[in-house]
Structure 1
Amino acid sequence: MKIRFDRLSNTPVNFQSSIDMVEFSGSIKKSSLNLAKCSGKLSGKLEHICDRCGADIVLNLDEELNLNLSDGIYKDIDNELSNTIEFYDGQIDTDEILISELEAFKSDYFYCDNCKILEGE
């Protein structure tokens, strides 16, 4: 789903996107001239592989997301890191946010039940 920055206001716009068995839903509202706030939730199941033995596993997602969305380049105040995604065509693409957040989630280490026992978890 694409939402134009110039159509956003203080009234939240609800959205819903999905890929395979993962759903991303929530709302977006304008917070300043070139900045919007996204409050959303990732939920569902994500196929992955065990980072130790390579076995197929399914990850259960239930993650709250609070993001800043910028219309163009964003500069952090006092060089503090923030959770901001930049868009350059005047539109927010919720499918792009979903893909980005899934890739960030998958960058962590995940183990199957057998490898968790070996690791002492």
Structure 2
Amino acid sequence: MNIAFSKISKEPISFELKVDNLIFKGNLKRIDSKLVNCKGVIFGTFEHICDSCGSDLNININENIALIISDGIYKDSKESLEDVMEFFDNNINIKDILHSEVEAYKSDYFYCDNCKIYKGEK
């Protein structure tokens, strides 16, 4: 799902994308000529493996997303700690944002119920 940077104004534009068992919905709002604010939520489930024993599990996700999206290389005069995603084809690819955020979420550790009991987490 691509949205052209030129279509985004100061009024929020809503979007919703469903991929497999995940839904990413939110809005895009122009900050300036090169920057767009993306606020939304990703929720649903995705398949993953237990980081201890390798068995399959389904992970529930419900994460708020707040990003600055840049049309080209991001340049900031003040050192910002905000999450920034750069696009270089004058379009914002919502599917790429979803994929990137889910992969970042997957970088955490996830354990199956058996391993949680073994580790004393349950």
Q: TM-score with structure 1 length normalisation?
A: 0.94
Structure 2 counterparts to residues 1-16 of structure 1, below 5 A:
1-16=1-16
What residue in structure 1 maps to residue 74 of structure 2? Answer: 74
Q: How many residues align?
A: 121
Residue 102 of structure 1 is matched in structure 2 by 102
Amino acid aligned to 1:84: V
Question: RMSD over aligned Cα, in angstroms?
Answer: 1.1
Cα pair 1:48 1:57 within 8 Å, conserved: yes
Q: Which moved more, 1:71-80 or 1:111-120?
A: 71-80
Deviations along 1:95-117, one digit per CA (max 9) or x if unpaired, are: 11011111111111100111111
Mapping for residues 47-66 of structure 1, pairs under 5 Å: 47-66=47-66
Q: Which moved more, 1:45-54 or 1:111-120?
A: 111-120
Instruction: Flag as ranges the 4+ runs of structure 1 deviating above 6 A.
Output: none
2:81 counterpart SS class: coil
Three-state SS of the structure 1 residue aligned to 2:31 is strand
DSSP-derived class of the 2:115 partner: helix
The CA deviation at 1:118 is: 1.6
- Per the TM alignment, residue 119 of structure 1 is displaced from its structure 2 partner at its CA by 1.6
Look up the equivalent residue of 1:24 and give its one-letter code.
Answer: F
Counterpart CA distance in 1 for 2:119 and 2:72 is 44
Identity, in percent, stands at: 47
Write out per-residue CA displacement over residues 5-62 of structure 1, whole angstroms, 9 at most, x where no aligned residue: 1121111111111221011011101011100001111010111100000011111111
Contact 1:76 1:82 (8 Å CA) reproduced:
no
After TM superposition, the score normalised by the length of structure 2 is 0.94
Deviation at 1:78, TM superposition (A): 3.8
Unaligned runs of 5+ in 2: none
What amino acid does structure 2 have at the position aligned with 1:16? E
